[in-house]
Amino acid sequence: MLHYGAFFMLICAAFPTSFAVKDGLLPNGDFKDGPKPTELNGTQVLGKFALPQWEISGFVEYIKSGQKQGDIHLVIPEGDNAVRLGNDATIKQHLNLSRGSYYAITFSAARTCAQSEQLNVTVSPESSLIPMQTIYNSIGWDSYAWGFQAKHSKGDLVIHNTGVEEDPACGPLIDSVAFEFLYPPPLTKYNIIRNGGFEEGPYLFTVRPGGVLIPPLIEDVHSPLPAWMVESLKAVKFIDSDHYSVPQGKRAVELVAGRESALAQIVRTIPGKTYGLTFSVGDAADGCIGYMMVDVYAARGTLKVAYESNGTGGSKKANLRFMANGNKTRVTFLSSNYHMKSDGSLCGPVIDDVLLLSVRNPGRRLR
């Protein structure tokens, strides 16, 4: 992966400053550096600039791992510290951007009180509400990705809890916030599908497995998974070979929410021309066991691909031949069945290595 920009040292830690960022955690993106003791009232952060590198507003708490909420110990998987956004609270950090370029923000969050918590993520003028009703991971923490196109050379990343609860301290925990520059994948003569190996996508945390959830299109105008969109009510999961079994390359997508978890791409085609679609279906070696079925749609072509998973990895190739009936064709993958691991985490089949070519001129595949 190519990297974009570099960190600039901040002269004064008390006040956030615009900076150019590289792929990875934002400065104090893991909230390791906390407020001074004089800037805390219990867990509540006092002062707009009390949290190093961040600007805050509203009821923001600085939470340490193992801290109790009632009888519940709060677990922070990425480190020792997190922030909790209470009623109408925000955290903000200034960014230097390349105007017109595409970026992805990755952050980890956990619900603590309400069932309908959601976060509004903004880099003006773009924003999106990320719902947290569905918990995909058994530990209660999920990582989310949000994509945007920079409209200006400078922007503020704002994460806002829009909820208003009776208890002002209720609200989601935020653990880690990271950044990735996205390179729009080009169209090549070797594959009509762009980013068919899913190698280009949001930042993936290295400390623990869990992947990153790609939200539905209705939640995200610019997909953090370039060229692809999530056409479903639930998210799909972006995974890597460092923590999971991946059929090819370094990255892949896991369809984790049954028929509510669909991945699609619209490609240019020639009406009446025949095309061949090949792809891999497998399991992520994450303990997801059972009879999996992937439904594939392209023009009037349909295919059901069965895969028996023992949860330890593996994959199989499948192919679909179809005739295009328009200048554009939507290629869609979805999981027919719902799956859950023994620990309660949602899971499903893995899709990777998607290749689409004209049958009459198949060309060759570059590796």
The tens digit of pLDDT for each residue in 161-213 reads 988 777 777 888 998 999 999 998 988 889 999 999 999 999 998 876 789 99
pLDDT in tens, 303-352: 999 999 999 999 999 999 999 999 999 999 999 999 999 988 999 999 99
The residue among 232, 250, 255 whose CA lies nearest residue 351 is: 255
Q: Which domains does the chain have, with CATH numbers?
A: 24-182 (2.60.120.200), 219-358 (2.60.120.260)
- Alpha carbon distance, N-terminus to C-terminus of the chain: 16
d(CA 227, CA 222): 9
Do 300 and 325 form a contact (C-beta atoms < 8 A)? yes
Percent helix, strand and coil across the chain, each rounded to 5? Answer: 0, 45, 55
Alpha carbon separation from 169 to 89, 143, 267 (Å, rounded): 10, 22, 47
The residue among 185, 233, 194, 230 whose CA lies nearest residue 212 is: 230
- Which of helix, strand or coil describes residue 297? strand
d(CA 85, CA 162): 9
What share of the chain has pLDDT > 70, as a percent?
Answer: 86
Reading phi first (left if > 0) and then psi (alpha if -120 to 50, else beta), residue 327 is in alpha
Q: What is the mean pLDDT of each run of 10 residues along the chain (367 residues)?
A: 35 39 85 95 94 96 76 65 92 94 94 80 92 80 93 95 80 92 90 96 84 80 90 92 94 94 94 97 95 96 96 96 96 95 93 94 43
Do 111 and 161 form a contact (C-beta atoms < 8 A)? no
Please provide residue 123's backbone torsions phi and psi, each rounded to the nearest 5 degrees: -130, 100
Residue 22: per-residue pLDDT: 64
- Which of helix, strand or coil describes residue 128? strand
Whole-model pTM?
Answer: 0.88
Q: For Cα atoms 102, 108, 114, give the angle at the middle one, nearest 5 degrees.
A: 120
